[in-house]
Structure 1
Amino acid sequence: MSTFVVFDLEFTTWPGALEQDWSEPGQLREIVQIGAVRISTGSAADAHSVVEEYEVVEEYEALVRPVVNARLSPFFTGLTGIDQRTVDREGVAPAEAIGDFLAFCRGQSVLSYGNDMVVLGENVGWARARGEEVKNGFLTTPFLNIRPWLNTIAPTTASANSGRLWEALGLPKPAAGKEHSALFDCYSIAAAIRHVCAGGAALPEGCL
């Protein structure tokens, strides 16, 4: 049995930021939450369990304290449900969270529904510019945006964000929680992958 990783990010935002591509002064896409799941690519069994194809076998989640915009916008909190008190209490430094996430991904292909790897790269650059060490390699990890592949195979997903893929495909809710929670969005992506592959689709080249 081999595996790959699906990940999703939640990052600082404000009203209109998406439409304007975060172009207003001071609007940086600082990571606030990282979610990731490890997915099996084949069936396997042992004395204790059976792992089915495209099943989530491990998960990773972290809250991150933004640095430049340390105060979360009310818009961000309303969108994600992540409040300031929780981030202040449970959040870790960006370099630490990113390093731990890259360790989770080590040696595997890493998939996202969209260009989250670009945002990850921005945050790696800012951390290093502050003199912080980001452990584990970013450039050596093979990242792949599977949105074009999925939208082509299942056109009903074209207008859906990652957290609504399960809904666009008419699937059961894949986990507890809701969209714009990074880990829930990962389960939504995983459910979409499982669904289209069960229907005969092959993962795009570079996923394994």
Structure 2
Amino acid sequence: MSTFVVFDLEFTTWPGALEADWSGPGQLREIVQIGALRLGADLSVVEEYEALVRPVVNPRLSAFFTELTGIEQEAVDREGLAPARALSDFLGFCKGQTVLSYGNDMVVIGENTGWARARGERIENSWLDAHFLNVRPWLNTLAPATTGVNVGRLWQVLGLPRPAAGQEHSALFDCYSFAAALRHLGASGAALLEGCL
């Protein structure tokens, strides 16, 4: 293993959407922010990827989403990439890598890729060129205190120093929290998914 990727997403949401699995009228998990870190064999950060994405079906962010993530509508309008461009760039960043998530964010990548293609947009890279893996069950088994905790709080429940500037529910900050948890488990003697990385 030379490098691998950890990633996190922020996507459109509304009060009660998580509990209802985004089943309300017009509720889709459209990606608004992608964060990713390429980590070396020693789990140090080799490279960062971060992008804002402009949702298409729900271009106006809910107040609930903005309060949760701190992502403002003006920033998305000004800096947001078209979904196909952001997905192409992110999948290019992941190409040939094992790509870890803390939860099933790869499903959301698949949904957004499908929607972009249905709109006739071209995705330049394929998610098939990377090996996506949800490591939440493994991490929760090794560190039971993390069960029920979102990725942005892993550092906190493990008693680790704050891993980066920023806040929980910011995709890149959440990646740093995830990486800190992996380093902690590695330092504690956990075999980091041998055979997968």
Cα distance in structure 2, aligned partners of 1:106 and 1:140: 5
Q: What residue number does 1:39 align with?
A: 39
Measured in 2, the distance between the counterparts of 1:206 and 1:127 equals: 33
Letter of the 2:132 counterpart = F
1:51-200 to structure 2, matched below 5 A, reads: 53-200=42-189
Q: How far apart, CA to CA, are the structure 1 residues paired with 2:181 and 2:30?
A: 27
CA distances 1:115-137 after superposition (whole Å, capped 9, x unpaired): 00000000000000000000111
| TM-score, normalising length: structure 2 | 0.98
Larger radius of gyration: 1
Distance 1:100 1:206, change over 3 A: farther
Corresponding residue for residue 46 of structure 1: none
Residue-by-residue CA offset, 1:148-169 (whole Å, 9 max, x unaligned)? 0000000000021000000010
- How far has the Cα of 1:205 moved from its partner? 4.4
Q: Which amino acid aligns with 1:54?
A: L
Q: Percent identity?
A: 75
| Root-mean-square deviation over aligned CA pairs | 0.9
Please state whether the residue corresponding to 2:127 is helix, strand or coil.
Answer: coil
Contiguous gaps of at least 5 residues in structure 1: 42-52
Partner of 2:190: 201
Amino acid at match of 2:27: Q
Alignment coverage as a number of residue pairs: 197
Deviations, residues 37-82 of structure 1 (Å, cap 9, x unaligned):
00011xxxxxxxxxxx111111000000000000000000000000
Could you tell me whether the CA contact under 8 Å between 1:5 and 1:37 is conserved in 2?
Answer: yes
In 1, distance between residues paired with 2:195 and 2:88? 23
- CA displacement, residues 157-204 of structure 1 (integer Å, 9 cap, x when unaligned): 002100000001000000000100000000000000000011111122
Output the TM-score relative to the length of structure 1.
0.93
SS at match of 2:61: coil
Hey, which bits of structure 1, 4+ residues long, moved more than 6 A?
Answer: none
Classify 1:57/1:38 alpha carbon distance in 2 versus 1 (closer, same or farther; 3 Å): same
